[in-house]
């Protein structure tokens, strides 16, 4: 796939999430594309993901895909973006190395506080992913590509569960 359309804009994330207006849109844009590939594609599967991406690129989004996008995919994606970008907001890679931005009037969050926020955003994103998955199952007649993601080693089949836990099998 040559072009990847953004399923959500940095402006929408700033408007609807817990992000200041002065956050660098380049960081958000890069994170959007990463999160779409890592998380959204796993929920939708290759065929449905590619269909929505093509429709966004060509400005031909169908009513059903628009509902899926605005009511389910975007809420999950904005939290995945926050989860992904959070550790990078105060750091910058330069020709001098990795630097940490500081201000005289602010205090840097601790690593523990950042991890707590990441976990919060991850939990929200996973809950929205689960809602998306259930919506697609309920409307599988409308979204036929969800159950038929195609064949081939590089095709991603939709994720059956959106979150899970480890199992402790005892000391074996």
pLDDT tens digits for range 14-70: 999 878 888 888 889 999 999 999 999 999 999 999 999 999 999 999 999 999 999
- pTM summary value: 0.82
CA distance linking residue 57 with residue 7, whole number of Å:
10
Residue 148: the pLDDT is 82
For the stretch 117-122, contacts whose Cβ atoms lie closer than 8 Å and that sit 24 or more positions apart, written own/partner, are 117/86, 118/83, 118/86, 118/87, 121/79, 121/80, 121/82, 121/83, 121/86, 122/79, 122/83
Query: Is the CB of residue 129 less than 8 Å from the CB of residue 43?
Result: yes
């Amino acid at each position: 796939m040559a072009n990847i359309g953004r399923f959500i804009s940095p402006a929408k994330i700033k408007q609807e999430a817990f992000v200041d207006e002065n956050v660098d849109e380049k960081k958000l844009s890069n994170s959007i594309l990463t999160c779409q590939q890592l998380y959204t594609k796993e929920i939708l599967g290759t065929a449905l993901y590619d269909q929505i991406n093509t429709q966004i690129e060509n400005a031909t989004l169908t009513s059903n895909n628009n509902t899926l996008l605005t009511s389910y995919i975007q809420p999950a994606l904005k939290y995945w973006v926050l989860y992904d970008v959070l550790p990078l907001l105060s750091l910058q890679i330069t020709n001098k190395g990795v630097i940490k931005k500081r201000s005289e009037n602010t205090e840097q969050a601790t690593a523990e506080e950042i991890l707590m926020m990441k976990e919060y955003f991850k939990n929200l994103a996973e809950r929205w992913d689960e809602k998306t998955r259930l919506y697609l199952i309920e409307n599988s007649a409308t979204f036929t590509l969800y159950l038929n993601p195609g064949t081939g080693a590089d095709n991603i089949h939709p994720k059956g569960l959106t979150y899970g836990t480890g199992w402790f099998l005892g000391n074996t």
